[in-house]
Amino acid sequence: MQQQERKLGFKIKHIKTGLYLSKLYSQKWTKIGKVWPRESDLIRSVNLAIANKKRSSKMGAESILNDIANWEVIELSESSRYSAMFLIDKVKY
């Protein structure tokens, strides 16, 4: 029986810029970005940001909805594990 890979979280990456989404409501993109633990958390965050934009800003949620086609969801998973002892010779102390 093969062991399934453990999912560590999800990120949103902008295809054109290569940056990761850090703050959804303010549309802040960084090199590291935010990690959502479950896919349902990511979807809920997107839905809440769209709803809040519709209520509060003059421009509405069009900025998110127009840009969402340029996003891709990255699934972070555990592909390989090894002991930290293998890194001892690379650590500079």
What are 12's strand-pairing partners?
A: 73
Quote the distance between the C-alpha of residue 10 and its chain's center.
5
pLDDT tens, position by position, 18-29: 999 998 878 899
Dump strand ranges (E) for 1-93.
Answer: 7-14, 20-23, 28-30, 71-77
Q: What is the pLDDT of residues 26-63, one digit of tens each?
A: 889 999 999 999 999 999 998 988 888 888 766 667 77
Amino acid at 38: R
pTM, two decimals, is 0.75
DSSP letter assigned to residue 6: P
Rounded Cα distance, 43 and 46, in Å: 5
Question: 9: alpha, beta or left, given left = phi > 0 and alpha = psi -120 to 50?
Answer: left
Domain ranges (residues) in the chain:
7-90
Tell me the pLDDT of the chain averaged across its residues: 85
Mean pLDDT of 63-77: 88
